Amino acid sequence: MSKVILITGASSGIGKDAAIQLIKEGHKVYTAARRIEKMKELQEMGGFPMQMDVAKNEDVKNVVDQILQKDGKIDVLWNNAGYGLYGSVENISIAAAKKQFEVNLFGLANLTQKVLPYMRKAKSGTIINTSSMGGKMYTPLGAWYHATKHAVEGFSDCLRLETKQFNINVVVLEPGAIATEFGDVLTQPMLDNCKNTAYEPMAKLVAKTVNDSYHKPNGASPRSVITNIISKIVRSKKPKTRYRAGKWAKPMVWMRLYLGDRIFDKVIMNEVK
């Protein structure tokens, strides 16, 4: 059955790749991102790109209103927009940290609030929130990013309990290292944030680890890992509450849960030597 789907953060990476597949499967796919010029391919395929900054309430409201005017419903909302702010706690400004939360958490929450009344009245819908394996673990210099993803996890769990009575599915997606531009967007600002500080040597080591993990052939393919999962969630009447996939996702979260803080600290720091 064809569904009306809204995907944020769809101008690149896992969002764009999954959007391509969902369009091919016959769904009506609205793709939202700041860089609308990056979604021409999706429009040519039959998708509906829309310009939206998830941190701007006016943009969010306009997108939801337009979709509802055209289709009267949104069957699937995939909150996928986000980025990684890396740098030391000592040096990252609170203003920058607030922006990280505005995009990764509050933007997600705002869009969810605007879509929920219509899913609730329809007694049907699926909300997918992109967290990360970083929502269950941590790495050096990633305090603010991990804080947002831990928050997304808790937000999603509470939302799932609240909306179950209305037959709304809430799913948490926890990708590991995927071969996308995420690593590139993360590393240079991190190096800039730590330049000429006591954390510069650590930043260089973390950057090397990130580059090794996220670039092909080391990073997992979006198509083989995440796209197939998203397609499965969209088709399912009762999807799982969590899907964890991608390089390191399952073993790293397992180690975090069962090894204890001190041993896990050593595991993580061994990766950035």
Q: What's the half-sphere exposure (Cβ side, CA atoms, 13 Å) at 149?
A: 26
Three-state secondary-structure class, residue 85:
coil
Domain count, the chain: 1
Would the pLDDT of 17 be above 60?
yes
Three-state secondary-structure class, residue 103:
helix
Contact 125, 75 (CB under 8 A): yes
The burial class, CB within 10 Å (0-12 / 13-18 / 19+), for 34 is middle
For residue 2, what are its two tokens?
Answer: 């064809």
Point out which residues pair with 5 in neighbouring strands. Answer: 29, 76
Point out which residues pair with 51 in neighbouring strands. Answer: 33
Question: Measured between alpha carbons, how far is 71 from 75 in angstroms, rounded to an integer?
Answer: 10
The number of angstroms, rounded, from the C-alpha of 141 to the middle of its chain's C-alpha atoms is 19
For residue 269, what are its two tokens?
Answer: 């720091």
Residues in the chain, total: 273
Q: Of 87, 94, 85, 82, give the one whose Cα is nearest residue 152.
A: 82
Q: Of 173, 244, 177, 207, give the one whose Cα is nearest residue 9.
A: 173
Q: What local confidence, expressed as pLDDT, does residue 219 receive?
A: 45
Q: State the catalytic residues.
A: 11, 131, 145, 149
Phi, psi for residue 237 in degrees, rounded to 5: -80, -25
Give the tens place of pLDDT for each residue, 233-266. 999 999 999 999 887 789 889 999 899 999 999 9
CATH number, domain at 9? 3.40.50.720
Give the tens place of pLDDT for each residue, 66-121. 999 999 999 999 999 999 999 999 999 999 999 999 999 999 999 999 999 999 99
| Cβ-proximal residues to 88 (8 Å cutoff; 6+ apart), any chain | 141, 193, 194, 197, 199, 202, 203
Domain containing 102 equals: 4-270
Pairing of strands 48-51, 168-175: unpaired
Give the tens place of pLDDT for each residue, 168-192. 999 999 998 776 556 667 888 899 9
